[in-house]
Amino acid sequence: MMEQFALRGKPLSLAVLDYGLFKVHSGPRIIGICGFAIRTDAGELVLIDTGFPGKYVTDPQAATGEDGLGAFGELLEIGPQNTPQAQLALLGLRPSDVTLMIQSHTHIDHLGHMGAFAPAPILIAKAERDLPKPLYWSGGQKMDWPEADYRLVTEDLTLGPDFEVLFCPGHAPGQLAFLLRLPQTGWMLLTSDAISRPAEIDEGFAGSWNVPLAIHHGARIMALARARGARVIYGHCPAQWPDLPKAPRCFT
């Protein structure tokens, strides 16, 4: 097992990064693609997820063509402003400022720039990193693992003061969620795709990699949120996304 990464400081601010819009045929529903930039009071910067592959900015048709997303939905909005580099710039930050990159899981809308922030280590579930290639998209694992310093997660862990990483396999084999406390906002739960939207709970997490695990961990992390009085940001909630403050605005 590789040495774990540990933060020295407490979370100071959290920015929601806007990686574009996608229309899911089922529903249909329009979802935001998001990541997070978290700064600590020790000057550290944690980047969670990096959105769709950068090639979509110049060639949106690649999503429905070579990557086969057309059966699932369609890109509505992705431009130069929707890259992690551009979103960090809104916060006055550079890629070299990233202390730690976290991969919540390796589906195509979360890993597009996974290798772009070296030498920052990548925190990722061992169950995901043990795959021959990142998940990318169903039937099309077209991306190799980038060269990086991987730090592997096998269970819930305390990443640093007031910052917990939750191991929540279900949606994906190595799905992670995050529970952190900010000075003014208090506790926040970032579900990622462990719970993409509240309705997924009532729908029984249909379509997950492992439905029973998804149901179990969905209930578990929501119980943690209730116990802490946490504000919840879901992975892809159509109702929540339009009014969610996004970079350069921050939760503090």
Q: How far is CA 115 from the centre of its chain?
A: 15
Other C-beta atoms closer than 10 Å to the C-beta of 177 total 26
Q: pLDDT for 18-43, tens place per residue?
A: 999 999 998 899 999 999 999 999 99
pTM: 0.97
Residue spans of the domains in the chain: they are 11-243
Does 11-243 carry CATH code 1.10.275.10?
A: no
Query: Positive or negative, the Cα torsion across 101, 219, 195, 244?
Result: negative
**Strand-pair partners of 14:** 38, 251
**Strand-pair partners of 161:** none
Q: pLDDT for 203-231, tens place per residue?
A: 999 999 999 999 999 999 999 999 999 99
Q: What is the pLDDT of residue 4?
A: 72
Q: pLDDT for 55-78, tens place per residue?
A: 999 998 888 888 888 888 999 999
Query: Positive or negative, the Cα torsion across 38, 197, 228, 153?
Result: negative
